Structure 1
Amino acid sequence: MSDEATQNSGNPAFSKNPSPGASPPTVAELEGILRNNRVPLSRIDEVWPNLYIGDMTVAHDRFRLWKLGITHVLNAAHKQIASSGCQDFYGCSMDYYGIAASDVPHFDIAAYFYSASEYIHRALDIMGELETILESSRAQLNHVDEVWPNLYIGDLLIAHDRKQLRKMGITHVLNAAHSKWGSKGDQIFYGKKINYCGIAADDSPDFDLSMYFYTAAEQIHQTLNTPDAKLLVHCILGMSRSASLVLAYLMIYHNRSLLSAVDRLILYRPISPNRGFLEQLRNLDIELNDKKKQQLAQDHT
């Protein structure tokens, strides 16, 4: 949805970008604009990129919200008639903020303008929120960590320790730093007992890691569905390239939003994808959400 589409809607009698010093419309003029609105009322509408306005029915439909990729809920009718919304209702997959506002003329909703605006701004500022979450991880950085059943993220030292890998039962290695600084990994290095796959990715914001998201995710998915298989995904430090590929796997095959996937990984390992990789993962998140929306639309036809 474009900014232009949002700004060009409504009553054309008023400028959407008034000149400095221009008087704001009166309440009566605003009411006239609202009465002339011809947009059909739906349960939920996207009114700004990734920003939705909806009613209580859709707010209580957690499955539909999940399919839409909703990660945050601001309820302006918290604790009001029939509203079930609270953090416990939405669980750990959605962040909740409630405002107990009454829909009466004398209620001072202006008291919440700045706090609500800040909440909306922070929710839509996905990159800033991601970086804050990544910095908040209290997990200890080890040479290797199990971040999902039979799925490990590690650094170059553990990747080169074939004896330790055999003790751990590792059967597959996905090296996101193939042929890069100090990396010895290839099929000859690991021999016949460990299956090897290499991706020659640079840990640079300009490197297009997204071209490997689906192929790497498929490789991880197939490996983890192989009986008794254990997979090590590594790069040099096990924090950027390898972590980004595992995040993509969780998003593609486990329907996790980017925020949810990050929340999962940082429970077990501190990770730090570079900003370029975060942008690419964000684009993947948008792409997957769009597919969910299309599927939801088809389900309702």
Structure 2
Amino acid sequence: MVSKCVYLSGIAALTKENLELLGITLIINATYEWPDVHTKMCINIRVPVANSEGDDISVYFDDVSYIINENMRNGGNTVVHSVFGKSRSTTLVLAYLVKYERIALKNAFISVKNIRETARPNVGFWDQLIKYEIKIRGVASVKMLTKKVDGFDIRYPDLYPDTYEALSAEREAQIRDNIKPKSN
């Protein structure tokens, strides 16, 4: 559980038993590729977005946050999911926490990360979350850092520097692998 009545997951956790056990009344499907899970007790909302740095997930922040909040006010529990529960669903939950729980983005992420270790919005979603926090709170609690590697800019949030330094190292390796000359 991320908040009073909000859960974050990947698709593997969306079993009928789990949904019933948690009293889920609203499922937010943050994918374009995965079908909705239909149950008698749940309303399904789809957020058709790809896990791509260029996709604009921010157009859904206000509506999804409002729907989660209304569901909670009506006594319901919400699960927000993407395929793995790492980027898209985490991003939407963070937007909700910033807007309705009035938590700084940095603290919201730390809280979510402590509950769901795999939580990791992509860089483009971080940019959108930071802009959203400025819109809602008037200040950014997270900033993006840039590191130059082999002529490429690697960007990552200033949160958990060790974690993101490791992610940066992974990205550096991917870049190197993609630009290495192929041997015959």
Instruction: Please give the TM-score of this superposition, normalised by the length of structure 2.
Output: 0.70
In the other structure, the counterpart of 1:216 is 64
Partner amino acid for 2:111? R
Q: Say if 1:250 and 1:261, in contact at 8 Å, map to a contact too.
A: yes
| Equivalent runs, 1:40-51 vs 2, <5 Å | none
Higher RCO structure (Cα 8 Å, ≥6 apart): 2
Deviations 1:137-194 (A, max 9, x none): xxxxxxxxx11122110111122x22331233211111111x41xx121xxx514311
CA-atom RMSD in angstroms: 1.5
- Asked if residue 151 in structure 1 is aligned to residue 151 in structure 2, the reply is no
3-state SS, counterpart of residue 171 of structure 1:
strand
Q: C-alpha distance in 2, partners of 1:288/1:150? A: 21
Partner amino acid for 1:260? N
- Asked if residue 205 in structure 1 is aligned to residue 71 in structure 2, the reply is no
Q: C-alpha distance in 1, partners of 2:30/2:112? A: 17
**How many residues in Structure 1 have an aligned counterpart in Structure 2?**
138
3-state SS, counterpart of residue 251 of structure 1:
helix
Judged with a 3 Å threshold, the aligned counterparts in structure 2 of structure 1 residues 166 and 282 are, in CA distance, closer, same or farther, namely: same
3-state SS, counterpart of residue 172 of structure 1:
strand
Q: Say if 2:90 and 2:121, in contact at 8 Å, map to a contact too.
A: yes
In the TM superposition, residue 288 of structure 1 has moved relative to its aligned partner by 2.0
Q: Say if 2:16 and 2:39, in contact at 8 Å, map to a contact too.
A: no
Rg (Cα) greater in structure: 1
Q: Say if 2:51 and 2:88, in contact at 8 Å, map to a contact too.
A: yes
Q: Say if 2:87 and 2:122, in contact at 8 Å, map to a contact too.
A: yes
3-state SS, counterpart of residue 147 of structure 1:
coil
Judged with a 3 Å threshold, the aligned counterparts in structure 2 of structure 1 residues 226 and 204 are, in CA distance, closer, same or farther, namely: same
| Equivalent runs, 1:213-292 vs 2, <5 Å | 213-227=61-75, 229-270=76-117, 271-290=119-138
In the TM superposition, residue 279 of structure 1 has moved relative to its aligned partner by 0.5
Deviations 1:30-50 (A, max 9, x none): xxxxxxxxxxxxxxxxxxxxx
Judged with a 3 Å threshold, the aligned counterparts in structure 2 of structure 1 residues 251 and 192 are, in CA distance, closer, same or farther, namely: same
In the other structure, the counterpart of 1:166 is 20
In the other structure, the counterpart of 1:176 is 30
Q: C-alpha distance in 2, partners of 1:202/1:176? A: 8
Q: C-alpha distance in 1, partners of 2:96/2:128? A: 13
Give % identity: 28
Partner amino acid for 2:51? D
3-state SS, counterpart of residue 190 of structure 1:
coil
Q: C-alpha distance in 2, partners of 1:165/1:268? A: 18
Q: C-alpha distance in 2, partners of 1:246/1:170? A: 15
Judged with a 3 Å threshold, the aligned counterparts in structure 2 of structure 1 residues 191 and 276 are, in CA distance, closer, same or farther, namely: same
Q: Say if 1:162 and 1:190, in contact at 8 Å, map to a contact too.
A: no
Instruction: Please give the TM-score of this superposition, normalised by the length of structure 1.
Output: 0.44
Deviations 1:194-222 (A, max 9, x none): 11111111100000000000001001111
In the TM superposition, residue 255 of structure 1 has moved relative to its aligned partner by 1.8
In the TM superposition, residue 268 of structure 1 has moved relative to its aligned partner by 1.0
Q: Say if 2:94 and 2:105, in contact at 8 Å, map to a contact too.
A: yes
Structure 1, gaps ≥5 residues long: 1-145, 292-301
